[in-house]
């Protein structure tokens, strides 16, 4: 069966939050040239519950043209395909089964006796196949089957420096859009011949005015106009024994601030999918909870006087937007923390540049004083220097982005 080539730009949507991630960037395209592809492939992760319906509803509200991946896969290809590489379904194949048993048996031996370190020095890889952490599924990337020319769209700068970019990306993507200088340099180091374009965080670059955003958010959540707003944005933890610990361990301390501040918490959508009672549990103790899947995140950050977060994309988003920021740490013995350290996670390493607090070292008085002083001493100059350190001077790239968009819309961009 011949594959139909569609002279449009396909955007693969894997999670509801990606609609917001793309929105500002895609506003500069000809809307008639865009088709949103809903990833309805089977996903083995519990946090993907109702994922397809949530994406569909979000696109419907915005009146965006959509198709389902299952309807076009191996049947049609778009001239250009843009993706975050977060498709995430896992496939069991003969190769994945072999790797699973190899890693569990021989890979574990290599790690135990540190032979993998010797192999890494000699061959540049350790041949352990993950050892005891080997998975029976293999990663699946459908991008090459959906687009003639494939474009990587950055999901954020909370990178695992030890592994980014995934070596598989070299064959999957023709061009890489980058948040900042850091991811651009990492991609260029691994994939020397690949074209990279610096775009920043488009989702945070345009929006309604501060006063409009404040009126909207304060009205929606019935916030006091006489109190400053603290926005708490905890990440999602995948380790089964530690899921939601970043929320439950810190919530009792944070909620005590409600008499002096407006408190608004937005748990990660994956965390909400994993625990249906989380929203009510947080509301019961006094939090206002944001659960809107298609939330314009720029508006929340924009009107916040302080951002509390721990790990993940919100850390770098706050730095990009130059917001007063405090990071809330988890105990160092947690498996989640060890994984971040092992993988050289930027959202962990950045703690030597911003204020971070340990749970066992912060009483109510100290937390209140730390928040008060962080808001009061916030310096736009220091914040700007920190932003430039990780993102560079993005204004210089406006013409390059406009040229890229124009040629893509006219089907004349040569990759």
pLDDT of residue 62: 87
Same domain? 250 vs 200? no
Same domain? 237 vs 276? yes
pLDDT digits 0-9 by tens, 205-254: 877 899 999 999 999 999 999 999 999 999 999 898 999 999 999 999 99
Same domain? 127 vs 230? no
383 occurs within a structural domain: no
Q: Which residues contact 405 (CB under 8 A, 6 or more apart)?
A: 28, 29
CATH number at residue 312: 3.40.50.2000
pTM for this predicted structure: 0.84
Same domain? 107 vs 84? no
Rounded Cα distance between 146 and 73, Å, is: 7
| Both tokens assigned to 262 | 């407006």
Same domain? 165 vs 108? no
Same domain? 267 vs 304? yes
Rounded Cα distance between 17 and 310, Å, is: 19
Range of the domain at 306: 210-378
Same domain? 229 vs 341? yes
Same domain? 62 vs 196? yes
**Quick one: which of 32, 16, 17 has its CA closest to 65?**
32
Which regions in the chain score pLDDT beneath 70?
1, 42-49, 124, 394-398, 415
Please state the domain count of the chain. 3
Same domain? 215 vs 309? yes
Same domain? 309 vs 404? no
Rounded Cα distance between 146 and 5, Å, is: 10
385 occurs within a structural domain: no
């Amino acid at each position: 069966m011949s594959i139909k080539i569609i002279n449009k730009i396909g955007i693969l949507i894997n999670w509801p939050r990606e609609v917001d991630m793309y929105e500002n960037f895609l506003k500069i395209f000809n809307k008639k040239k865009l088709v949103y592809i809903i990833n309805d492939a089977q996903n083995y992760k519990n946090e993907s519950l109702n994922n397809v319906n949530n994406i569909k509803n979000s696109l419907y509200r915005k009146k965006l043209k959509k198709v389902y991946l299952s309807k076009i896969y191996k049947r049609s290809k778009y001239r250009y395909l843009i993706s975050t590489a977060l498709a995430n379904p896992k496939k069991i194949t003969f190769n994945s089964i072999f790797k699973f048993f190899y890693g569990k048996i021989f890979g574990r031996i290599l790690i135990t006796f540190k032979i993998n370190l010797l192999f890494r020095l000699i061959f540049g890889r350790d041949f352990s196949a993950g050892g005891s952490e080997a998975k029976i599924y293999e990663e699946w990337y459908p991008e090459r089957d959906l687009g003639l020319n494939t474009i990587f769209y950055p999901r954020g700068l909370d990178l695992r420096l030890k592994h980014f970019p995934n070596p598989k990306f070299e064959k999957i993507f023709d061009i890489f859009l980058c948040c900042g200088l850091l991811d651009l340099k990492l991609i260029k180091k691994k994939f020397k011949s690949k074209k990279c374009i610096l775009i920043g965080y488009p989702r945070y670059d345009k929006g309604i005015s501060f006063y409009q955003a404040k009126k909207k958010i304060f009205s929606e959540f019935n916030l006091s106009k006489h109190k400053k707003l603290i926005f708490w944005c905890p990440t999602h933890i995948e380790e089964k024994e530690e899921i939601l610990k970043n929320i439950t361990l810190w919530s009792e301390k944070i909620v005590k601030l409600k008499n002096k501040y407006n408190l608004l918490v937005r748990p990660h959508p994956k965390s909400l999918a994993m625990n249906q009672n989380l929203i009510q549990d947080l509301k019961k103790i006094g939090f206002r909870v944001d659960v809107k899947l298609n939330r314009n995140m720029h508006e929340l950050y924009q009107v916040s006087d302080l951002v509390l977060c721990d790990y993940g994309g919100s850390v770098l988003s706050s730095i990009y937007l130059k917001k007063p920021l405090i990071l809330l740490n988890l105990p160092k013995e947690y498996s989640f923390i060890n994984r971040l350290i092992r993988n050289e996670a930027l959202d962990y390493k950045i703690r030597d540049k911003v204020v971070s607090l340990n749970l066992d070292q912060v009483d109510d008085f100290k937390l209140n004083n730390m928040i008060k002083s962080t808001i009061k001493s916030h310096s736009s100059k220091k914040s700007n220097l920190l932003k430039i350190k990780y993102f560079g001077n993005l204004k210089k790239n406006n013409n390059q982005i406009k040229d890229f968009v124009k040629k893509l819309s006219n089907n004349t961009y040569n990759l």
